[in-house]
Amino acid sequence: MITTLLILFVAGYLLVTLEHTIKINKTATALITGISCWTVYTISGAHAETVSQQLGHHLTGIAEILFFLLGAMTVVELIDAHDGFTLITDRIASRNTRTLLWIVSLLAFFLSALLDNLTTAIVMVSVARKLVSNPEQRRVMAGMIIIAANAGGAWLPIGDVTTTMLWIGGR
C-alpha cells in the first residue's frame, strides 16, 4: 500500500510540475491525485472509522482555507464592482514601473500589517492588474507584493495569524 501511495503521489506531483508541457490543469491533477491516494488508502483494509476520522480532519482543514478564500475574493470582487480600486489607482501618480513597484510593495507591506497576508496579496494583485498591462512586469510585481505582504504581516501581530499566536504565547 505505501509503495502504491508513493507512486501515485510522485506521479501526481510530476504531472503538476509538467502542467505547461502536458497541457493538463494542475488543479485537476492535484484533485485526482488526492482522490486516488485516499481511495487506495481506504481500499487497503484500514479500519473504516480511522479512515473516516483522518479524512474528516483533512477535509476540515481544506474547507477552512476554501471558505476563507471565498470570503476574501468576495470582498475583492465587491470592491472592484463598486470601482474601489479606481480610488487607489487614480491616486498613484507614477507610471514608471520601478516607482510603481515600490509604491505597490510599500502599500502591501503596511496594508498587510492591518489585514491578513492573503487578503492583502489578493487586493494588491488586483490593483497591480489594473496598473500594469505587461504580463512579465505584472508577475514580478505580484512576487514583490507577496513578499511585502508577508513581511508586513509579520511586522505587527495583527497581520499574521502565526505572529499573533507567537505573540500571545510570549515569544
What pLDDT does 46 receive? 74
What pLDDT does 168 receive? 63
Q: CB of 150 within 8 A of CB of 118?
A: no
What pLDDT does 85 receive? 74
Q: Please give the chain's pLDDT, 171 residues, in tens.
A: 889 999 999 999 999 999 889 888 888 999 999 999 989 998 887 788 888 899 899 888 888 878 877 887 787 788 878 887 777 777 776 778 888 889 889 988 888 877 777 778 888 888 888 888 889 999 999 999 999 988 887 776 655 555 555 666 666
What pLDDT does 64 receive? 81
> What crossing angle do the helices spanning 135-155 and 97-114 adopt, rounded to 10°?
30
Q: What φ, ψ does residue 82 adopt, rounded to 5°?
A: -100, 20
Element holding 124 (H helix, E strand): helix 117-131
- Single-letter residue type at 162: T
Those residues with Cβ within 8 angstroms of residue 125's Cβ, 6 or more apart along the chain or in another chain: 142, 145
